[in-house]
């Protein structure tokens, strides 16, 4: 299907790919991608593949040129719904826990890269460029490890992973950054610490149900801190806290917002695969839960981008995945996602922006990786938060494009 929106032309593509690319004659799934281009720009434009953050996030739905405007002057862009997301074959919690866990092992970056190569060849593209946001940057490093011959250049925004970092390594650093964000939030909005404590104390003493029937626990309330790594996250949390009450009860609008923000209804893969994306040869064993600092139990504290085993009991959309999630957390036979030797010898031009204060992707690990990947140039900035690509594409996109063209 091809449609025209203000400033862009949109075409849908659907591809049938093997669930397991090592077994091309076996079970297949559907992968959806949406092509966008500027109708005013003619000619046979090169392709740019956008790799969305996540894991388990569908690609952005375009309503106009938006933050693609600069890129569309020179490229046609393919917005990929990574396997299991958006209009690609959805993931459903069917079968036994063992069957579901075995199925979900095929939804990490290695399988996504194999899908990309299948799609590139199906479209007749000799080589394409990639833009990887957050987890999309992780996928990019896997792409460079597995199939660099399909890549002309790569651009990464807030997504250089630690090549050898375990889930324990990641969360030991992450909690420190979350603590710093919470401290900064209370400095900006001094009344919010008491507001958060009042809500937590209320939830500890009363049974409060969300509109879908789930109980709102203190632990689930704390997960609202996840947004503190975004450019507008402090303001969004502030208004939630200041508008939380209706007399002596929590307001219906507050409860609805919490339900939708923390319910994983449209993205269970984010929770199920969040720690396995760091697993290479060792089990994660619920790293975020094991490394949870004692002070995060205080009523005024929030958590960040962490997934905990209690979620698979307390959150309606995740309960069917509980058994599979436990098996994935215990699995110790994960294959490697990155090839350090191949990355060191990389010849594909790579430009990456690292956000100095990124709450989700540790800048220290990112810079260590930047020093280990050949032909990679890095721009470190404290000007943007993790969503810099979305809010400041007009500045980030041109700079990264220049970085891969001019190696000086």
Instruction: Give the tens place of pLDDT for each residue, 163-217.
Output: 999 999 999 999 999 999 999 999 999 999 999 999 999 999 999 999 999 999 9
pLDDT at 113: 98
Instruction: Give the tens place of pLDDT for each residue, 276-302.
Output: 999 999 999 999 999 999 999 988 899
Query: Which ranges in 105-244 belong to alpha helices (H)?
Result: 109-122, 135-146, 167-188, 192-205, 218-222, 233-242
Residue for token pair 């036994």: 96
pLDDT at 408: 46
pLDDT at 125: 97
Task: Give the residues of the chain that fall short of pLDDT 50.
Answer: 408
Instruction: Give the span between the Cα atoms of 372 and 162, in whole angstroms.
Output: 10
What percentage of the chain carries pLDDT values higher than 70? Answer: 99
Contact 402, 396 (CB under 8 A): no
Mean pLDDT of all residues in the chain?
96
pLDDT at 351: 98
Name the residues annotated as catalytic. Answer: 134, 333, 386
The Cα-based distances of 203 to 209, 219, 235, 250, 358 in angstroms read 10, 9, 23, 10, 30
Q: Minimal CA–CA distance to 229: which of 156, 180, 188?
A: 180
Residue for token pair 């939630």: 240
pLDDT at 64: 82
pLDDT at 1: 67
Q: What region, left, alpha or beta, does residue 56 occupy, with left being phi > 0 and alpha being psi -120 to 50 degrees?
A: left
Instruction: Give the span between the Cα atoms of 49 and 62, in whole angstroms.
Output: 15
Helix, strand, coil tally for the chain in percent (to 5): 45, 15, 40
Contact 373, 343 (CB under 8 A): yes
Contact 314, 258 (CB under 8 A): no
pLDDT at 15: 98
Residue for token pair 């993931």: 91
Count of CB atoms within 10 A of residue 49's CB?
A: 26
DSSP classification of residue 317 = G
pTM of the model: 0.97
Q: What are phi and psi of 348, to 5 degrees?
A: -75, 130
């Amino acid at each position: 299907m091809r449609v025209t929106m203000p400033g862009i032309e949109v075409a849908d593509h659907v591809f049938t790919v093997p669930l397991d690319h090592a077994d091309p004659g076996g079970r297949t799934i559907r992968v959806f991608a949406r092509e966008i281009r500027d109708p005013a720009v003619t000619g046979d434009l090169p392709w740019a593949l956008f790799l969305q953050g996540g894991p388990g996030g569908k690609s952005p739905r375009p309503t106009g040129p938006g933050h693609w405007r600069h890129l569309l002057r020179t490229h046609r862009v393919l917005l990929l719904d990574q396997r299991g997301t958006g209009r690609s074959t959805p993931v459903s919690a069917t079968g036994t826990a063992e069957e579901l866990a075995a199925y979900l092992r095929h939804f990490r970056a290695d399988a996504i890269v194999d899908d990309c190569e299948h799609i590139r060849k199906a479209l007749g593209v000799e080589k394409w460029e990639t833009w990887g946001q957050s987890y999309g940057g992780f996928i990019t490093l896997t792409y460079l490890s597995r199939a660099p011959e399909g890549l002309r250049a790569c651009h990464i925004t807030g997504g250089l992973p630690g090549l050898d970092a375990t889930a324990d390594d990641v969360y030991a650093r992450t909690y420190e950054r979350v603590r710093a964000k919470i401290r900064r939030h209370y400095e900006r909005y001094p009344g919010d610490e008491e507001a958060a404590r009042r809500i937590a104390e209320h939830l500890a003493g009363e049974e409060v149900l969300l509109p879908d029937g789930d109980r709102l626990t203190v632990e689930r309330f704390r997960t609202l801190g996840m947004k503190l790594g975004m450019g507008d996250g402090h303001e969004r949390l502030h208004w939630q806290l200041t508008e939380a009450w209706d007399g002596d009860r929590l307001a219906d609008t507050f409860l609805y917002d919490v339900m939708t923000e923390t319910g994983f209804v449209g993205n269970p893969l984010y929770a199920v695969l969040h720690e396995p994306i760091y697993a290479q040869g060792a089990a994660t064993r619920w790293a975020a839960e094991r490394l949870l600092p004692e002070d995060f139990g205080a009523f005024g504290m929030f958590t960040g981008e962490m997934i905990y085993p209690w979620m698979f009991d307390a959150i309606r959309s995740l309960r069917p995945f509980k058994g599979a999630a436990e098996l994935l957390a215990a699995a110790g036979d994960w294959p490697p996602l990155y090839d350090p030797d191949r990355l060191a010898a990389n010849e594909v031009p790579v430009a990456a922006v690292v956000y100095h204060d990124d709450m989700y992707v540790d800048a220290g690990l990112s810079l260590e990786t930047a020093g280990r990947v050949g032909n990679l140039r890095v721009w470190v900035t404290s000007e943007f938060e993790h969503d810099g690509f979305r809010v400041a594409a007009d500045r980030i996109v041109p700079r990264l494009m220049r970085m891969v063209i001019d190696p000086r």
